[in-house]
Amino acid sequence: MAAVALGTKCPVTAAGKDEEETEKRLTARMLQGNPIVNLDNVNGTLSGDLLCQVATQTIITPRILRTSYRPRM
């Protein structure tokens, strides 16, 4: 899908061991400007508030780790 839509492969990110780790990884990918991300190695239930926002909203403001900075994405 990414190759057709973007002309390139999408980055692969492993799902974290818990919701907090997955949120950190998703935020990092968003800061890199990746419009599509492949979540790989999902073992168990995939959930989380940020994941739901990414999947359903057009604008989100994730909190950057160790700061109160929340960029608009």
Residues in the chain: 73
The Cα–Cα gap between 13 and 26 comes to 8
Q: Cα–Cα distance between 61 and 23 in angstroms, integer?
A: 12
pLDDT, tens only, 8-51: 888 888 988 888 888 888 888 888 888 888 888 888 888 889 88
User: Is the pLDDT reported for residue 65 higher than 80?
Assistant: no
